[in-house]
A and B are shown apart, each in its own frame.
Chain A
Amino acid sequence: MKIAISSSGDTLDAQLDPRFGRATGFILFDTETRSTLFINNNQSLEAAQGAGIQSAQHVVNAGADVLITGHAGPKAFAVLTAAGVPVYLAKAGSVRQALAQWEAGELVRITSADVEGHWV
């Protein structure tokens, strides 16, 4: 299973990026091999609008089965839901800590967006 975590850097010790649409990037963690892959999110960072939608597409296309992030807006959540990717929210900390919390079943899965959409 592959877990995507919004991240401010390319290692497990980087801080979790609380933003989803405009996250610096995503760490893709494979629970079987315990390996990580960094997906940069430059395209969404530069998007004039629809960054959340675009980030959701990146995460889905990368083959993520689960997403861990700080917040998710309505459009991003709609795309992730359509793709069948459950969204778990984590508070600040390192990506490694967020993963450990998820594996321990301590993170909450959201059933709707936890923040409102915005335009820029």
Chain B
Amino acid sequence: MRIAVASGKGGTGKTTVAVSLALAAQGRVHLLDCDVEEPNVALFLKVSDPVESPVCVPIPVIDETRCTACGECARFCEFNAIVRVGKTVLVFPELCHSCGGCALVCPEKAIQEEASQIGMLTEGCVSRVSSGAVTSESSAPDIGFYQGLLSIGKAMSPPVIRAVKDHSRSEADVDTLEIIDAPPGTSCPMGTALTGVDYVILVTEPTPFGLHDLSLAVETVRVMGIPFGVIINRSDSGDDRVVSYCSSEGIRILLQIPEERRIAAGYSRGEPLIVAAPEYRRTFSALAGLLIHEWKNRTGRGGTP
């Protein structure tokens, strides 16, 4: 099962929820940091044996000996990444969406696609014991950790997010719970992180800004047709408008986490929520169990002992 933890507004507690859910869930877990513009899951976990590999996208390169400057490639490109001026064809790699169309339409076969690095994928594992989440190793296998990092100066994060998800999926089996820490907002990076997931947890805070961006995120997730629920973080710090909104929209509130100095102090030391406030371990474990159970019922995977 794949669960994405998203929000409209940034800084509401996506990572806090994703990390604690991953640490508290039973069985095989992958934790994916898909907030590739500023990944921060690793601040809260000790990642061992990290292995890095570059994430590349294909970018057109013009063979000037074959190019007749006919301009077909420039006409085709929706993103203005290729232009023809006079007898010159210019490529702007930072605008290219790597669709490959220019190479297909080139009548002279003068366009080759070459790999261009736009980010880095890090894969490693996280011991639940050394993260302070459990004290015995008996039933706590390591968490598979996958992180994307967009290179400085690059603007397009979706290919990096897809690389993180594809890599995790290639190493997952049917019982693996994949937990995706999604980027904030409701634009392409968030949509890419949520594509193909089975459930979305929207984390918000009880402020006007939190409510406003939650409603945008709700609209997005509804269009994508993914089941979702809401977690209200620092739930007693604002007003009750988020609760009213959820009840009038028929949205399930999965959990409310009241503001606590103990949790904030732990956060500032890089401690996961369930380590700073251990009584939440059962809460998150139960939440993971519930979402998996419901998913199995929804998809007809239930019934097995």
Contacts and interface: CB of A to CB of B under 8 A. Distances in A.
A37 B216 CA distance: 44
* Chain A interface residue bracket vs B: 10 to 19
A47 to B, nearest CB: 6
A49 B83 contact: no
Interface stretch (A8-16, A26-34, A74-82, A93-101): A74-82
Contact of B92 (A48, A53, A57, A83): A53
B85 A60 contact: yes
B81 A82 contact: no
A76 B68 CA distance: 23
A83 B86 contact: yes
B155 A82 contact: no
B48 interface: no
Contacts of B155: 119
A54 B81 CA distance: 10
Interface in B76-102: 79-81, 83-86, 88, 90, 92, 95
Residue of B81, B84, B85, B88 contacting most chain A CB atoms (<10 Å): B85
A74 to B, nearest CB: 10
A57 B80 CA distance: 10
Given A54-B80, A119-B155, A49 B95 contact: yes
B86 A82 contact: yes
Interface of A: 47-51, 53-54, 56-57, 60, 75, 78-79, 82-84, 119
20 contacts: A49-B79, A49-B95, A50-B79, A50-B81, A50-B95, A53-B80, A53-B92, A56-B85, A57-B84, A60-B85, A75-B92, A75-B95, A78-B90, A78-B92, A79-B83, A79-B85, A79-B90, A82-B86, A82-B88, A83-B88
Given A49-B80, A54-B83, A78-B92, 10 more contacts: A47-B80, A54-B80, A56-B83, A56-B85, A57-B83, A57-B85, A60-B85, A60-B86, A79-B83, A79-B85
